[in-house]
């Protein structure tokens, strides 16, 4: 079996032109597993996806200070749409057209949090939630994208 240990700064370019960049973590710690989440940016042509796992504000701040180009077409909201993620400055830097929030229906954590939903609504960003729509699939040809769900 071949595997690669990744950290912030790892970058791979694939035959079809897709580019995968690992933006976080820089120094993962087992003391805060959420901020040890891998954050990846996948770019294919003009469409990009920022996949934030459970990364919280400290990880977002690290990425903001790193100088990475965070602007992305689609953002997978951090930590299930919790208030511990998606800070104002991070959302401004990413400036997505759409946000996907992965959370279970009726979860005991109250995800996504109303404060996060309000922030996204105020920014006029389309929101797709797995607790309301089921599986969410984003397809792209590198120019346009289409968001499908199973509802």
Query: How many Å apart are CA 35 and CA 42, to the nearest integer?
Result: 19
Q: How far is CA 103 from CA 2, 43, 46, 131, in A?
A: 31, 24, 28, 6
Q: Which helix (H) or strand (E) is 57 found in, with range?
A: helix 57-66
What is the token pair recorded at 37?
């989440």
Query: How many Å apart are CA 59 and CA 56, to the nearest integer?
Result: 6
pLDDT of residue 5: 72
Query: How many Å apart are CA 86 and CA 44, to the nearest integer?
Result: 23
Q: CB count, 10 Å around CB of 91?
A: 21
- Threshold 0.85, pTM exceeds: yes
Contacts of 84 (CB under 8 A, 6+ apart): 34, 56, 57, 78
Mean pLDDT by 10 residues, the chain (151 residues): 77 95 81 78 98 91 93 95 94 98 88 95 96 96 96 69
pLDDT of residue 29: 66
């Amino acid at each position: 079996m071949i595997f690669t240990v990744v950290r912030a700064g790892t970058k791979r370019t694939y035959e079809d032109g897709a580019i995968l960049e690992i933006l976080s973590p820089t120094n993962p710690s087992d003391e805060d597993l959420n901020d040890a989440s891998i954050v990846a940016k996948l770019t294919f042509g003009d469409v990009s996806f920022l996949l934030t796992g459970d990364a919280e504000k400290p990880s977002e701040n690290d990425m903001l200070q790193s100088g990475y180009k965070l602007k992305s077409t689609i953002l997978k909201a951090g930590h299930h749409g919790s208030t511990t993620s998606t800070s104002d400055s991070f959302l401004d830097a990413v400036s997505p057209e759409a946000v996907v929030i992965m959370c279970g229906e009726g979860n005991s954590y109250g995800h996504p949090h109303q404060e996060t939903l309000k922030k996204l609504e105020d920014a006029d960003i389309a929101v797709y939630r797995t607790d309301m729509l089921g599986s969410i699939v984003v397809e792209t040809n590198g120019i346009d994208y289409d968001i499908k769900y199973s509802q």
